[in-house]
Amino acid sequence: MGSSAPLAIADICDANSHLLTNGELRPLPPIFQIYGRKKAFSGPVVTVKCFEDNVLVRELVAQKGHGRVMVIDGCGSLRSAIIGGVLAKRAENNEWAGIVVYGCIRDVDDVNLCDIGVRALGSYPVKPGKKGNGEKHVPVTIAGIRVCEGDWLYADSDGILVSTSEMTA
C-alpha cells in the first residue's frame, strides 16, 4: 500500500457488500488480539500451516517480505507459541507488513516494540517444537475461513478481512 493511508476495514465492508455476499471478501471471526506497533496493515498473503512447530515460519521470516502478510495456520493451538520477539523483529527487519497467527505468540512486550502488525489468539509462554512439520504456500483454514496464497489481507482495529483481489479506495 506504499505511503498511502491504509483502507479502513469498515469502509471496505460498507462499499463492497456484494463481495461479502459472494464470498470474495471474507472477514475473519473477532477472535484475534492486536499486537505490534502497526495497528493497521495490509498486503498479499503468504501461507504456512504448522501445528506447534515454527521451523517453516522461521524460514519464511528470514526471506524478504516485500510488504506481504504471513498467515499462519497454527490449527488454533493454545498449547505453544508460534511467534516470539526474535521472529517478530526478524519479520520487521525483512519488511513483512504483518503476521496473523491462528494460534499463540509469546514475548509480548518484545513483539509490541516491533514496527509490524501482529494478530494472534493470545499469548502463551511455551516455545514450539522444532521438527519442521507443516506446509508452506498451501490453502489454509483460519477459524473456518479459507485463506489462499495470493489473497489480500487487510487488518485494523475493527478486524481482519481477506479478499481474493486487492481492494482500492
- Judged by DSSP in three states, 108 sits in helix
Of 35, 83, 32, give the one whose Cα is nearest residue 61: 83
Determine if residue 119 is labeled as part of a ligand binding site. Answer: no
Determine if residue 98 is labeled as part of a ligand binding site. Answer: no
Q: Give the span between the Cα atoms of 54 and 84, in whole angstroms.
A: 10
Determine if residue 126 is labeled as part of a ligand binding site. Answer: no
Determine if residue 86 is labeled as part of a ligand binding site. Answer: yes
**Numbers of helices and strands, H then E, in the chain:** 5, 12
Determine if residue 129 is labeled as part of a ligand binding site. Answer: no
Whose cell is 495470493? That residue is 150
Determine if residue 2 is labeled as part of a ligand binding site. Answer: no
C-alpha cell at 142: 483460519
Annotated binding site: 84-87, 106-107
Annotated binding site for Mg(2+): 107
Annotated binding site for substrate: 84-87, 106
